[in-house]
């Protein structure tokens, strides 16, 4: 999982160009796409690389925004036509034009917020929860679905059956597309347990990253909070200064322990039994958060770190969702379309 030398130089140059922008995660994203593509067999990844290499990172971000806006506007147009017709029927001829325009704008906004249709694997429910089972992931390489350890939810759990990759993310890469209808910050939680021995600090972590989210980090505390960002973005002083300038953030830095290429090592604490525990930064526990500036479909990636780390269920939820609702054993998966 290495970028070719030419790609790496491109990545570094791009990061310098983007230093100081407040959406610096897009710089990371653009670089990650290239790194991923360097070793990817997937056609989708290669397509993304072709797009990205032809533009600098800023243009890529703007292009994506324009594309999605264009699609939404296109969908709204047909709705507007029908509403215009209704108005004409029910209103006096003198006022028809003005009222039709007003109605059209209102309808467009509503459709953008609630009527968007995403191509995705799972999406956030109206209650603010996106749910999928470990055993539903696109299993590859040496991941395996198992049911040996009782107490799992739904059809089982998954585990990595080969040796650990403590410093090398990207092995056994599994990607999931997430439909986000409401922009904002979401928390990521999963239910896991260690699958070998009784030392809770062994066999207790998986690599996790978000390729195209607006922001992705570990968070501890509230008002103010501290944040832990993956490498390489956390090593950029301008990026960190921008985060620390936010009124709600008192401090931001790299996590303790391993991180690379946008991946955070996400671990459980004390999961000698099935447990909801989802953290990063060794001995400095930060919960996992991801931000989406716009509604749309976003990619979550998992890759193997510890062997015998059992992953049962993943929940990604709005911040206002109660913990009891997150941990509800009866939660069903939330596939697209809802
Ligand atoms: Ca399960």
Residue pLDDT, tens place only, 67-118? 333 333 333 333 333 333 333 333 333 333 434 344 444 333 333 344 457 7
In a domain, 213, yes or no: yes
Q: What is the pLDDT, as a whole number, of residue 116?
A: 55
19-33, 75-89, 178-192: which is most confident: 178-192
Is position 136 within any domain? yes
Angle formed by the axes of helices 57-90 and 25-37, nearest 10°: 110
Peptide bond into 129 cis (omega under 30): no
The sign of the torsion formed by the CA atoms of 84, 90, 94, 99 equals: negative
Neighbours of ion ligand 1 (CB under 5 A): 133, 152-154, 312-313
What separation in Å is there between the alpha carbon of 257 and the centre of ligand 1?
A: 28
Q: Are residues 83 and 158 in the same domain?
A: no
Residue 337 lies in a domain: no
User: What is the whole-number distance in angstroms between the Cα of residue 317 and the centre of ligand 1?
Assistant: 17
Residue 179 domain-assigned? Answer: yes
> With the C-alpha atoms ordered 202, 303, 268, 152, is the resulting torsion angle positive or negative?
negative
Asked whether residue 338 is assigned to any structural domain, the reply reads no
Report CA(315)–ligand 1 centroid distance (Å): 11
Q: Are residues 39 and 110 in the same domain?
A: no
Q: Is residue 34 part of a domain?
A: yes
In the reported structure, the alpha carbon of residue 314 is separated from the centroid of ligand 1 by a whole-number distance in angstroms of 9
- 25 band by pLDDT with thresholds 50, 70 and 90: low
Torsion angle of C-alpha atoms 208, 218, 309, 333, degrees rounded to 10: -70
Q: Are 195 and 308 in contact (CB under 8 A)?
A: yes
Q: Could you tell me the residue range of the domain that residue 173 belongs to? A: 122-326
- Expressed in angstroms and rounded, the spacing between residue 35 Cα and the centre of ligand 1 is 31
Distance 86 CA to ligand 1 centre (A): 49
Looking at the structure, tell me whether residues 150 and 223 fall in a common domain.
Answer: yes
Instruction: Give the pLDDT of residue 15.
Output: 40
End of a domain among 69, 95, 114?
114
Query: Averaged over 187-216, what is the pLDDT?
Result: 95
Lowest mean pLDDT among 34-38, 68-72, 180-184, 207-211: 68-72
Confidence band (pLDDT; 50, 70, 90) for 241?
very high
With vertex at residue 180, the alpha carbon angle to CA 27 and CA 284, rounded to the nearest 5 degrees, is 60
Q: Give me ligand 1 centre to Cα 270, in Å.
A: 19
> Residue 56, Cα to own-chain centre: how many angstroms?
22
- Do 69 and 130 have their domain in common? no
Q: Count other Cβ atoms within 10 Å, centred on residue 77.
A: 12
Residue written as token pair 């990844």: 45
- The answer to whether residues 50 and 184 belong to one domain is no
Same domain, 316 and 167: yes
Picking from 68, 86, 114, the residue at the C-terminal end of a domain is: 114
User: In total, how many domains does the chain have?
Assistant: 3
Domain match, 135 and 32 both: no
Q: What is the CATH number of the domain that holds 251?
A: 2.60.120.260
Ligand 1 center to 96 CA (angstroms): 56
Question: Could you report the per-residue pLDDT of 262-308, keeping only the tens digit for each?
Answer: 999 999 999 999 999 999 999 999 999 999 999 999 999 999 999 99
Closest of 72, 39, 41, 37 to residue 51, by C-alpha: 37
The C-alpha atoms of residue 243 and residue 23 are separated, in whole angstroms, by 10
Cα-to-centroid distance, 248 and ligand 1 (Å): 35
pLDDT band at 337; cut points 50, 70, 90: confident
| pTM of the model as a whole | 0.69
Q: Are residues 242 and 209 in the same domain?
A: yes
Task: Give the separation between CA 213 and CA 11, rounded to whole angstroms.
Answer: 18
State whether 139 and 76 are in the same domain: no
Closest to 315 measured CA to CA, from 122, 129, 43, 134: 129
Query: pLDDT of 37-68, one tens digit each?
Result: 333 333 333 333 333 333 333 333 333 333 33
Same domain for 66 and 134, yes or no, is no
Residue in 192, 210, 184, 180 with CA at minimum distance from that of residue 300: 210
Residue 185 lies inside a defined structural domain of this protein: yes
Compute, in angstroms, the gap from residue 140 CA to the centroid of ligand 1.
17
Together in a domain, 107 and 41: no
155 alpha carbon – ligand 1 mean position (Å): 5
71 shares a domain with 23: no
Number of helices followed by number of strands (H, E) in the chain: 7, 17
Residue 68 belongs to a domain:
yes
Lowest-confidence range among 95-99, 156-160, 161-165?
95-99
Radius of gyration of the chain (CA): 22
Angle at Cα 29 formed by Cα 120 and Cα 256, nearest 5°?
A: 110
Output the CA 34–ligand 1 centroid distance in Å: 32
State residue 118's pLDDT score. 77
- Cα 150 to ligand 1 centre (Å): 11
């Amino acid at each position: 999982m290495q970028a070719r030398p030419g790609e790496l130089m491109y990545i570094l140059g791009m990061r310098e160009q983007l230093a100081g922008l407040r959406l610096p995660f897009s710089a990371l994203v653009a670089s990650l796409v290239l790194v991923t593509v360097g070793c990817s067999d997937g056609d989708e990844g290669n397509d993304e690389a072709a797009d990205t290499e032809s533009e600098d990172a800023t243009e890529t971000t703007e292009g994506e925004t324009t594309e999605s806006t264009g699609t939404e506007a296109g969908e709204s147009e047909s709705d507007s036509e029908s509403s215009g017709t209704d108005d004409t029927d029910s209103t006096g001829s003198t006022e028809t034009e003005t009222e039709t325009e007003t109605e059209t704008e209102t309808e467009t906004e509503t459709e953008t917020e609630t009527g968007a249709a995403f191509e995705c694997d799972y999406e956030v429910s109206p209650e603010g929860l996106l749910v999928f089972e470990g055993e539903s992931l696109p299993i590859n390489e040496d991941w395996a679905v198992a049911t040996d350890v009782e107490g799992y939810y739904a059809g089982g759990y998954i585990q990595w059956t080969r040796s650990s990759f403590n410093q090398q993310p990207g092995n056994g890469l599994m990607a999931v597309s997430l439909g986000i209808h409401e922009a904002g910050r979401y928390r990521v939680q999963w239910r896991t347990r260690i699958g070998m021995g009784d030392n809770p600090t062994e066999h207790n972590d998986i690599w996790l990253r978000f390729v195209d989210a607006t922001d992705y980090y570990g968070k501890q505390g509230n008002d103010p909070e501290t944040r832990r960002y993956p490498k390489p973005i956390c090593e950029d002083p301008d990026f960190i200064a921008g985060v620390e300038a936010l009124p709600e953030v008192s401090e931001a830095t790299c996590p303790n322990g391993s991180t690379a290429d946008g991946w955070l090592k996400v671990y459980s604490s004390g999961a000698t039994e099935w447990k909801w525990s989802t953290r990063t930064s060794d001995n400095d526990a930060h919960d996992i958060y991801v931000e989406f500036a716009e509604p749309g479909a976003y990619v979550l990636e998992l890759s193997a770190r510890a062997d015998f780390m059992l992953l049962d269920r993943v929940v990604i939820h709005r911040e206002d969702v109660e913990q009891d609702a997150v941990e509800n054993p009866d939660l069903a998966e939330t596939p697209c379309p809802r």
